[in-house]
Amino acid sequence: MGVGAIMGYSSPAGILLTSNSTNSTLYLTSSQNSWFSSISNLGAMVGCPLAGICINYFGRRGTIMYAVVPVSIGWILIAAGQNFAMLLVGRFITGLYCSLVSLAIPTYVAEFASPHIRGTL
């Protein structure tokens, strides 16, 4: 759910941020909206090697639990975003979270699932 919320957030938020329909002073151009939408993928790309290191250091379960820290920081930056840079940093950090859980959760499930249902999961 977390990864889906991160990946899907940019679509409705981008419409609101580019239309200037809110009372906010934050307004994105179409070029900035493109960056806002895609920077989480860059964060996920950078986070993939980090995810492997975290799995070896913290373990699968520990990586999943500690991944709450970057996603919380990222969403706080996005929610409190006063400028374009804060939005970008928040989206980048949430992209790091995506790579952490995208590697740790399938590995964790595959290790602890019963052999007869492992392929189904």
Confidence (pLDDT) at 75:
94
Tens-digit pLDDT profile for residues 73-95: 999 999 998 899 999 999 999 99
Confidence (pLDDT) at 81:
87
List Cβ<8 Å contacts ≥24 apart for 109-113.
111/60
Confidence (pLDDT) at 62:
93
Confidence (pLDDT) at 24:
67
Helix (H) or strand (E) holding 67: none
Label residue 49 exposed, middle or buried (CB < 10 Å: 0-12, 13-18, 19+).
exposed
For the chain, domain boundaries = 28-112
Confidence (pLDDT) at 114:
82
Q: What CA–CA distance (Å, rounded) separates 121 from 106?
A: 9
Confidence (pLDDT) at 26:
80
Confidence (pLDDT) at 22:
60
**Stated pTM of the model:** 0.86
Task: Give the chain's count of helices (H) and strands (E).
Answer: 4, 0
Q: Which residues of the chain have pLDDT under 70?
A: 20-24, 121
